[in-house]
Amino acid sequence: MAFTAADVKKLRELSGAGMMDAKKALEETNGDIEAAIDALRAKGLAAVQKKSSRTAAEGLVGVAVEGTKAVAVEVNSETDFVAKNEQFQDFVRKTTAVALGLGGDDIEALKAAAYPDGGTVMDKLTNNVATIGENQQVRRMKTVSVSQGVVVPYMHNAAAPNLGKIGVLVALESEANPEVLTGLGKQLAMHIAAAFPLALDADGLDADLIARERKIAAEKAAESGKPADVQEKMVDGAIKKFAKENALLSQIFVIDGKTTIADVVAQAAKDAGSAIVLKDYVRFQLGEGIEKEESDFAAEVAAAVAG
């Protein structure tokens, strides 16, 4: 058996499956949690697919806007305690400002860029690790801009101005009144924070992700025992549903529960008397995609005492 009781517990938390179902899935996949989740979903036993909100990495997301350009940056730390440290917050704030001036999404270029207090961003990070005594990482950045219009920032669970756990940027290309665009952008940003879209539109969804969903849908269809042509339609329908639910423009607006985001933007443009294009967005959730090891605090204390 290539897995532990902790793996079973983790799979249950991620999938919502029962203990025996989780254990059997891990046995079938030789302890591969990702594959076990897919197997449970194919059997209809997983309540939810793995979400980034299940991760446990700490730190802060920073956002900064200047004119029609904005950037989001994620900086990780080992504990939430450090994320509340003023020295760490100051570093994230200044690094985000550097990223805004730099543009793009090249994290290595950001690390090598000049830091306001001297040296490079990486130099300052190294110094912080030494003085704070905890590992830290400048993980990712993304810049969005428009030629005319606004880029609206939104921070969910803010720890300080423009610093928090979920940072969102919404880029609206338009000649409409900036105040109108900002109001629309704020509503769209709150939707994005809550609904977790995976791409702006269906064409932007990751090809590997679609292939994975298609495989799961095919396994479910095969279990139905229906004719091959019917199974094919079932798979196509499942993929269309997945794309609709995960592409921003086709998602249902969380504020009214009935209108698609594309229609929300279209109606706003009609009301404003000017075309509005939702050009791009950013949604950075702290720790997204990072797995953090769970520690046994009692065992650690016992080990320290024994040492």
The structure's pTM equals 0.76
- If asked whether residues 43 and 141 sit together in one domain, one would say no
Q: Convert 122-152 to b/e letters by CB count within 10 Å (16 or more is b).
A: eebbeebeeebeeebbbbbbbbbbbeebbbb
Answer whether residue 113 is part of any domain. Answer: yes
Beta strands (DSSP E) in 8-49 are: none
Answer whether residue 246 is part of any domain. Answer: no
Answer whether residue 247 is part of any domain. Answer: no
Domain range spanning residue 15? 1-50
Answer whether residue 67 is part of any domain. Answer: yes
Give the span between the Cα atoms of 64 and 80, in whole angstroms. Answer: 22
Domain count, the chain: 2
- If asked whether residues 38 and 60 sit together in one domain, one would say no
Answer whether residue 212 is part of any domain. Answer: no
Helix (H), strand (E) at residue 151: strand 149-160
- If asked whether residues 31 and 73 sit together in one domain, one would say no
State residue 282 phi and psi, 5-degree precision. -130, 140
- If asked whether residues 164 and 190 sit together in one domain, one would say yes
- If asked whether residues 46 and 176 sit together in one domain, one would say no
Answer whether residue 257 is part of any domain. Answer: no
**pLDDT by residue, tens only, the chain of 307 residues:** 578 888 888 888 777 777 788 888 898 888 888 888 888 877 776 654 443 333 337 999 999 999 999 999 999 988 888 888 899 999 999 999 999 999 999 999 999 999 999 999 999 999 888 888 788 899 999 999 999 999 999 999 899 999 999 999 999 999 999 999 999 999 999 999 999 999 999 999 999 999 998 999 998 899 888 988 998 999 999 999 999 999 999 999 999 999 999 999 999 999 999 999 999 999 999 988 776 555 444 554 455 445 4
Instruction: Tell whether the torsion through CA atoms of 183, 155, 188 and 146 is positive or negative.
Output: positive
Answer whether residue 229 is part of any domain. Answer: no
Task: Check residue 161 and report its DSSP letter.
Answer: T
- If asked whether residues 132 and 38 sit together in one domain, one would say no
State residue 227 phi and psi, 5-degree precision. -55, 155
Are 39 and 125 a contacting pair, CB within 8 Å? no
Domain CATH number, residue 137:
3.30.479.20
Domain CATH number, residue 32:
1.10.8.10
- If asked whether residues 176 and 58 sit together in one domain, one would say yes
- If asked whether residues 46 and 160 sit together in one domain, one would say no
Give the span between the Cα atoms of 146 and 200, in whole angstroms. Answer: 15
- If asked whether residues 27 and 105 sit together in one domain, one would say no
For residue 41, how many other CB atoms are within 10 A of its CB?
23
Instruction: Tell whether the torsion through CA atoms of 288, 292, 294 and 300 is positive or negative.
Output: negative
Answer whether residue 221 is part of any domain. Answer: no
Are 95 and 80 a contacting pair, CB within 8 Å? no
